[in-house]
Amino acid sequence: MNSLLLTGGRVIDPANRFDASADLLIVDGKVAALGRDAAAQAPADVEKMDVSGLVVCPGLIDLHVHLREPGQTSKETIATGTAAAARGGFTSVVCMPNTIPAIDNAGTVALIRERAAKQGVVNVFVTGAITNGLAGEELAPIGGLKRAGVVAITDDGHCVQNNELMRRACEYAKMFDLPVMDHCQDYSLVTDGVMHEGYWSTALGLRGWPSAGEEMIVARNILLAGLTGARIHCQHLSAAGSVQLIRDAKKRGVPVSGEACPHHFTLTDSAISGSEKFWAEDGKNLFSTLNAQLSTRNYPEWPNYDTNFKMNPPLRSARDREAILEGLADGTIEILCSDHAPHCDYEKEVEFDYAPFGITGLETGLALSLMQLYHTKRLSLPDLIAKYTLAPARLLRLPKGTLAPGADGDVTILDPDREWSFDRNDTVSKSLNNPFYGWRLKGKAVGAIVGGKKAYVEQTELAVV
């Protein structure tokens, strides 16, 4: 039998409301025991790992990842993307369908699942397209995609503009018990905007992307969820109005949910100007745990128009950022994810208007979440972990997100107080389009166990005994 015993750690399992110092035993890829009796039940040849002083939790799930394979392997591959996920503490990722060709048929689903089984170091779950070719014109074969194994449908990177078509997609999704994940963007309002419409877009002379362009589709989705009963999940929320709409809808029992990405609750649109005020525009020090660092000005400064700050939806105002943080704190926004969107250097090294939207995020997402939510006391550690484990597993009906005996042996080991710098030379992603290089971060994953096997272990932190 293959077996692994983690000893001495603080085990947090939000699904079972477990938070205590305990040992965890994994045998043949499954959780065999948790608690005082785990060591006694371990086989004689068990591999032991001392995790004293560290946190052990169910393997983190990233609900929103672009692996770029097939068709865009110059940006990322299943192998490199899953390696970056493991480095960031994620044992499962959910890949988006905007590949080339799009994931709109059973054959492409089978291709990705086969490659992930051979080349991936973490679990890869596949989403299928809502419409053929992500074109927004005719429905993809949703039933066939479900039979092929997709866990949700989405046209992420695109948004279905035809409301009648979206209604039919929701009806089919309800029939096949699939959540609909939607990139909320009204094209007629957003037009060719490249950054948040506000003071900084005017000052920098860049075309604005108004918050209403997101809020309009969030409102549409709430109405359709109420009409059809389908579970609609609004992706990468960025606007204060979107948070309030979802908050009100959930109070009425509408089956709608939302997710937030660390860049939207860490940065504001002033970062594009190169302004130092981006981190304290609302009069608060976002990194209250790193006062000494900031007082010595030991933080990076960026030039104007840095395309690594260009994403969709865009970085928004301090008011919007605060609303996202409040939505996470009060439970309106249930899920944290990265929206990991790798691009080649040459694609980003152009004028701001012409650069593609998106940044990488698998390796920094946990640290930024800990800094902005846990170290600022907005969320307890169990509540934060639940947004990366229990909540995404529940939304997608995945057999993950728990350390109950018999569950899959997917485990994340993290040090919430570890301070480290994110260096572009250390990333294992194929792409380098990330705005957080040079940041002093607090909180780090030091181990990722997938099915009882070590996908990533930081040897300086973990001792095998």
Catalytic residues: 339
Q: Which two tokens stand for residue 115?
A: 């490659």
- Of the candidates 62, 61, 66, the residue with the CA atom closest to the CA atom of residue 358: 66
- Please name the residue that has the structure tokens 């080991």: 413
Identify the three-state secondary structure at position 317.
coil
Angle among Cα 325, 327, 329 to the nearest 5 degrees reads 70
Q: What b/e sequence results for 356-378 when a residue is b if at least 16 CB atoms lie within 10 Å of its CB, and e otherwise?
A: bbbbbbbbbbbbbbbbbbbbbeb
Q: What b/e sequence results for 249-283 when a residue is b if at least 16 CB atoms lie within 10 Å of its CB, and e otherwise?
A: bbeeebbbbbbbbbbbbbbbbbbbbebbebbebee
- Of the candidates 249, 267, 258, the residue with the CA atom closest to the CA atom of residue 322: 267
CA distance 26 to 42: 9
Q: Which residues pair with 445 in a beta bridge?
A: 414
CA distance 100 to 173: 24
CA distance 105 to 107: 6
Q: Judge contact between 206 and 353, C-beta under 8 A.
A: yes
Strand 30-35, strand 18-27: pairing: antiparallel
Q: Is the dihedral of CA 189, 194, 200, 205 positive or negative?
A: negative
Task: Give the C-alpha distances (Å, rounded to integers) separating 240 from 58, 143, 220, 283.
Answer: 31, 35, 16, 18
CA distance 68 to 98: 8
Residue 460 DSSP label: T
CA distance 122 to 362: 12
CA distance 138 to 224: 18
What Rg do the C-alpha atoms of the chain give, in angstroms? 21
- Of the candidates 259, 372, 366, 369, the residue with the CA atom closest to the CA atom of residue 322: 372
| Start-end of H helices in 58-141 | 78-87, 106-119
The one-letter amino acid code at 259 reads: E
